[in-house]
Amino acid sequence: MTACPEGDAPIGVIPPQRVLIAAERCKGCGLCVAVCPPEIMELGALNRLGYAVVGVTDQARCTSCTACALVCPEVAIIVLRPPRARQAPEGTK
Amino acid sequence: MKRTLMKGNEALAEAAIRAGCRAYFGYPITPQNEVPEYMARHMPKAGGVFVQAESEIAAINMVHGASGAGVRAMATTSSPGFSLMTEGLSYMIGSRLPCVVANVMRGGPGLGNIAPAQGDYFQVTRGLGHGDTHGIVLAPSTVQEIVDLMPVAFELAERYRLPVVIAADGILGQMMEPVTLPEPIVPPPPPDWATTGAVGTPRVISSIYLAPEDLERHILSLMKTYQEIREREQRWEAYRADDAEVLVVAYGTAARVVRTAVDRVRAQGVAAGMIRPITLWPFPTTAFERSPRRWLVVELSAGQMVEDVRLALSGRSPVGFYGRVGGIVPSPMEVSEAIRSAVVGEGVKT
Amino acid sequence: MSKDMVEVTARPRSLVDVPLHYCPGCTHGIIHRLVAEAIDSLGIRERTIGVASVGCSVFIYNYFDVDFQQAPHGRAPAVATGIKRVLPDRVVFTYQGDGDLASIGTAEILHAAARGERITVIFVNNAIYGMTGGQMAPTTLPEMTTTTTPYGRDVRQAGAALRVVELLAGIDGVAYAAREAVTSPARIHRARRAVEAAFRAQLEDRGLGIVELLSTCPVNWKLPPVEAIAWCEANMIPAFPLGVLKDTSGSRK
Please tell me which residue of chain B has the smallest CA distance to C80.
Answer: B65
Q: Do C29 and A35 lie within an 8 Å CB cutoff? A: no
Asked, for residue B349, whether it belongs to a domain, the answer is no
Task: Check A31 against C19: CB less than 8 A apart.
Answer: no
In angstroms, the CA B299 to CA C64 distance is 51
From the candidates C45, C51, C85, which should be mutated to test the interface with B, based on the most B CB atoms within 10 A? C85
Look at residues B216, B232, B248 and tell me which one is the last residue of a structural domain: B232
- Residue B279 in any domain: the answer is yes
Whole-angstrom Cα distance, residue C99 to residue A23? 33
- Residue C47 to residue C91: CA distance in whole angstroms: 6
Residue ranges making up the domain that contains A45:
14-79
Task: Report whether A66 contacts A18 (CB < 8 A).
Answer: no
Who among C64, C83, C85 is closest to B68 (CB)?
C83
Report the pLDDT value the prediction gives residue B305, as an integer from 0 to 100. 98
Task: Give the model's pLDDT for residue A12.
Answer: 64
**Which of B148, B67, B123 has its CA nearest to residue B100?**
B67
Which ipTM did the prediction report? 0.93
pLDDT tens by residue, C37-62? 999 999 999 999 999 999 999 999 99
Q: Cβ contact (<8 Å) for C8 and A66?
A: yes
On whether residue B268 sits in a domain, the answer given is yes
Q: Do A and B touch, counting CB pairs below 8 Å (3 needed)? A: no
Domain boundary residue, one of B215, B232, B249: B232
pLDDT class for C250, splitting at 50, 70, 90?
Answer: confident
Q: Do chains C and A touch (3 or more CB pairs under 8 A)?
A: yes
Same domain, B123 and B262: no
Say if residue B227 is in the same domain as residue B242.
no
Q: Is residue B350 part of a domain?
A: no
**Model confidence at A89, in pLDDT bands (50, 70, 90)?**
low
Give, in order, the Cα–Cα distances in Å from B166 to each of A8, B242, B286, C65, C189.
81, 28, 21, 37, 52
Domain count, chain B: 2
Is B88 at the interface with chain C, CB within 8 A?
yes
At A4 the pLDDT is 42
Do residue B287 and residue B183 come from a single domain? no
Range of B36's domain?
Answer: 3-232
Q: List the one residue out of C132, C154, C134 whose CA is nearest residue C143.
A: C154
- B108 with B38, same domain: the answer is yes
- Residue B314 backbone class (left: φ over 0; alpha: ψ -120 to 50; beta: rest): left
Q: How confident is the model at residue A10 (pLDDT cuts 50, 70, 90)?
A: low
Distance of alpha carbon A55 from alpha carbon C251, whole angstroms? 42
- pTM (predicted TM-score): 0.92
User: How confident is the prediction for chain A on average, in pLDDT?
Assistant: 85
Lowest average pLDDT, out of A6-20, B42-56, C22-36, C176-190, goes to A6-20
Q: Answer whether B touches C (≥3 Cβ pairs < 8 Å).
A: yes
CB contact under 8 A, B64 and C71: yes
Q: Is residue A75 part of a domain?
A: yes
Give yes or no: residues B163 and B38 share one domain: yes
Q: What distance in Å separates residue C227's CA from the closest CA in chain A?
A: 9
With respect to residue B212, please indicate whether it lies within any of the assigned structural domains.
yes
Amino acid code (one letter) for B186: V
Within-domain flag for A56: yes
**Residue in B closest to C61 by C-alpha:** B204
- From chain C residues 94-113, the ones with a CB under 8 A of any chain B CB are 107-108, 110-111
**Which of A29, B273, B61, B293 is CA-nearest to residue C81?**
B61
Domain CATH code at residue B334? 3.40.50.920
Percent of chain C with pLDDT over 70: 98
Segment (H or E) for B209: none
Specify the pLDDT at position B36. Answer: 96
Cβ contacts below 8 Å, chain A against chain C, sum to 93
Which of the listed residues B200, B232, B264 is the one where a domain comes to its end? B232
pLDDT band, very low/low/confident/very high, at A3 (cuts 50, 70, 90): very low
Asked if residues B235 and B206 have their Cβ atoms less than 8 Å apart, the reply is no
- Within this chain, do residues B201 and B252 fall inside the same structural domain, yes or no? no
CATH of the domain at A68: 3.30.70.20
Q: Is A66 in contact with C9 (Cβ distance < 8 A)? A: yes
- Return the CATH number at B190: 3.40.50.970
* Domain count across chain A: 1
Structural domain includes residue A52: yes
Q: How many CB pairs under 8 A join B and C?
A: 133
Q: Do both B242 and B210 map to the same domain?
A: no
Best mutation target among A6, A48, A49, A70 (most C Cβ atoms within 10 Å) is A70
Domains of chain C, earliest start first: 28-247 (3.40.50.970)
The predicted pLDDT at position C253 comes to 47
Question: From first to last of its 350 residues, what are the pLDDT tens digits of chain B?
Answer: 679 999 999 999 999 999 999 999 999 999 999 999 999 999 999 999 999 999 999 999 999 999 999 999 999 999 999 999 999 999 999 999 999 999 999 999 999 999 999 999 999 999 899 999 999 999 999 999 999 999 999 999 999 999 999 999 999 999 999 999 999 999 999 999 999 998 888 999 999 999 999 999 999 999 999 999 999 999 999 999 999 999 999 999 999 999 999 999 999 999 999 999 999 999 999 999 999 999 999 999 999 999 999 999 998 988 999 999 999 999 999 999 999 999 886 554 44
